[in-house]
């Protein structure tokens, strides 16, 4: 999608600090980290958000969780724990309308979140 900042990262039109990439997904560090480790994992397919997940495209969500588990092990925080967050819509504070999963690690994460 032309105006989407994450599509531009996928196309290398704007820079990002990339952790992992394959044909379906991209993982990169959040530019404004909320934890010592904070990455975003996105599908390469432009999907607006969680409300746009259907029977047609839902397999990407499972695949993203598979990639997150792999990266968590590689980065060494799988055992101590981490948080996966998806913000959907205005009240949740979604600012980029290309579905993405935040992965926060390496600090105590309070519950409930704000
Ligand atoms: P959300 O508020 O859930 O939509 O999350 C969007 C996230 O994207 C925020 O945590 C931003 O810091 C992050 N973000 C925005 N632009 C960039 C960028 N160019 N590179 C990396 N992260 C970004």
Tens digit of pLDDT at every position of the chain (114 positions)? 889 999 999 999 999 999 999 999 999 999 999 999 999 999 999 999 999 999 999 999 999 999 999 999 999 999 999 999 999 999 999 999 999 999 999 999 999 998
Assess whether 46 carries a catalytic annotation. no
CB 28 within 8 A of CB 18: yes
pLDDT of residue 114: 83
pTM comes to 0.98
Catalytic residue among 46, 97, 98, 100: 100
Q: Between the CA of residue 40 and those of 31, 64, 84, 100, what are the distances in Å?
A: 10, 10, 9, 6
Q: Quick check: CB of 96 below 6 Å from ligand 1? A: yes
The values of phi and psi at residue 26, to 5°, are -135, 140
Q: Quick check: CB of 103 below 6 Å from ligand 1? A: no
């Amino acid at each position: 999608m032309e105006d989407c900042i994450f599509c531009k990262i996928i196309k290398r039109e704007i820079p990002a600090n990339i952790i992992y990439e394959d044909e379906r997904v991209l993982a990169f560090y959040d530019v404004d980290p909320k934890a010592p480790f904070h990455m975003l994992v996105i599908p390469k397919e432009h999907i607006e958000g969680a409300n746009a997940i259907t029977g047609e495209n839902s397999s990407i969500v499972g695949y993203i969780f598979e990639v997150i588990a792999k990266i968590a092990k590689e980065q060494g925080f799988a055992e101590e724990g981490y948080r996966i967050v998806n913000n959907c819509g205005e009240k949740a504070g979604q600012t980029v309308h290309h579905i993405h999963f935040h992965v926060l690690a390496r600090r105590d994460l309070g519950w409930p979140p704000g």
